[in-house]
């Protein structure tokens, strides 16, 4: 079933019908109704293409309706429980108890909660990607499934390692950060070129590596990128270069395109760098 999706101002009302029997006021749910449809089904929630660091949202609603009433009447009562929550880049929040027209406004609440006749559980479904790709997840409330899907419109382009490009990870194997170095000096009659990368992943070091300029037996620089998002909302770049030649270091976040550059003047001993605001976290 493909139900039309409305934004937070309007929302989508989903009703849970309860079988009313002569001997009891209410019994177990008999049918799940989608507003405007009499076909029982779960809901597909397809977010629009959303760039890394941005958020797309939908407003959703759930209520109980008697099996003898039209869909969306919300004239029955019953419990709402969180059977399965979603994880990043999706989230469900802003749970509120309102009425059929309040659309994500009302009294804040948390799950589980019991709805009375005429009440609607409103909430937001959000998609906030932190890296490129296509994603899916399922939110289940009282047996009703919301099948979520979203994409950034790009699969991303992880770093490709080569002799002059060092690729290091944020998550194991993602090769998120690309590091390249160039050097120049008037010493020895004048020398310049690209730094040669020495990955250390074979030693279990995936968040850092080395560069050499003049001989593979003589490394000039140790560099690493750390995830400091929880502390400064930035990735950190730390490096130590045991050289006095001029160089430029470029660190690129291949997921966002953000980059940071660092330079050292020729014939100046390179100081260590501890940049805790190098690259913004999405």
The dihedral sign for the CA sequence 103, 107, 109, 114? negative
179: which 2 tokens?
A: 């590091």
At 109, is the secondary structure helix, strand, or coil?
A: coil
> Over 60: is that where the pLDDT of 216 sits?
yes
Residue 160 counted as domain residue: no
User: How many domains does the chain divide into?
Assistant: 2
Same domain as 26, residue 143: yes
Q: What is the pTM of this model?
A: 0.51
Non-local (6+) Cβ contacts of 217 within 8 A are: none
Same domain as 120, residue 209: no
The dihedral sign for the CA sequence 223, 227, 231, 236? positive
16 neighbors 66 (Cβ within 8 angstroms) = no
Quote the pLDDT of residue 154: 62
Residue 104 counted as domain residue: yes
Start-end of H helices in the chain: 229-232
At 91, is the secondary structure helix, strand, or coil?
A: strand
Average pLDDT of span 110-117 = 92
The residue from 98, 120, 151 where one domain ends is 151
Same domain as 190, residue 122: no
Same domain as 104, residue 57: yes
Same domain as 272, residue 190: yes
DSSP state of 269: P
Share of the chain above pLDDT 70, in %: 82
DSSP state of 162: B
Nearest to 109 by CA among 119, 101, 89, 34: 119
Same domain as 199, residue 117: no
Residue 83 counted as domain residue: yes
Angle at CA of residue 111, ends 106 and 112, nearest 5°: 120
Same domain as 197, residue 138: no
269: which 2 tokens?
A: 């001993």
Same domain as 273, residue 184: yes
Encode pLDDT of 249-274 as tens digits: 999 888 887 889 999 999 999 999 99
Query: What CATH number corresponds to the domain at position 84?
Result: 2.60.40.10
Same domain as 142, residue 21: yes
Same domain as 84, residue 207: no
Residue 246 counted as domain residue: yes
Higher per-residue confidence, 24 vs 135: 135
174: which 2 tokens?
A: 């993602």
The residue from 88, 116, 151 where one domain ends is 151
Residue 108 counted as domain residue: yes
Same domain as 23, residue 145: yes
Quote the pLDDT of residue 23: 32
41 neighbors 1 (Cβ within 8 angstroms) = yes
Residue 4 counted as domain residue: no
Quote the pLDDT of residue 267: 93
Task: Note down the domain range covering 18.
Answer: 12-151
Residue 6 counted as domain residue: no
What's the start-to-end Cα distance of the chain, in Å?
34
């Amino acid at each position: 079933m493909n139900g039309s999706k409305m934004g937070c101002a309007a929302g989508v009302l989903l009703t849970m019908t309860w079988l009313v029997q002569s001997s009891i006021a209410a019994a177990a749910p008999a049918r799940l109704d989608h507003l405007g449809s009499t076909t029982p089904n779960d809901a597909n929630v397809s977010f629009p293409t959303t760039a890394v660091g941005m958020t797309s949202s939908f407003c959703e609603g759930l209520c109980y309706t008697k099996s003898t009433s039209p869909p969306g009447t919300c004239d029955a009562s019953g419990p709402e429980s969180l059977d399965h929550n979603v994880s990043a880049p999706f989230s469900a929040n802003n749970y509120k108890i309102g009425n059929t027209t309040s659309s994500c406004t009302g009294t804040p609440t948390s799950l589980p909660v019991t709805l009375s006749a005429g009440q609607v559980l409103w909430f937001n479904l959000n998609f906030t990607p932190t890296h490129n790709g296509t994603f899916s997840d399922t939110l289940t409330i009282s047996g009703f499934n919301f099948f979520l899907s979203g994409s950034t419109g790009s699969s991303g382009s992880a770093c490709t390692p080569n002799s002059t490009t060092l690729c290091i990870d944020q998550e194991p194997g993602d090769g998120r950060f690309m590091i390249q170095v160039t050097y120049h000096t008037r010493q020895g009659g004048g020398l310049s070129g690209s730094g040669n990368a020495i990955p250390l992943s074979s030693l279990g070091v995936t968040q850092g590596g080395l560069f050499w300029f003049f001989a593979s037996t003589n490394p000039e620089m140790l560099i690493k990128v750390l995830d400091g998002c929880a502390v400064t909302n930035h990735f950190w770049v730390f490096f130590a270069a045991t050289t006095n030649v001029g160089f430029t270091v470029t660190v690129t976040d291949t997921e966002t395109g953000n980059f940071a550059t660092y330079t050292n003047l020729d014939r100046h001993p390179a100081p260590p760098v501890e940049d805790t605001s190098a690259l913004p976290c999405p």
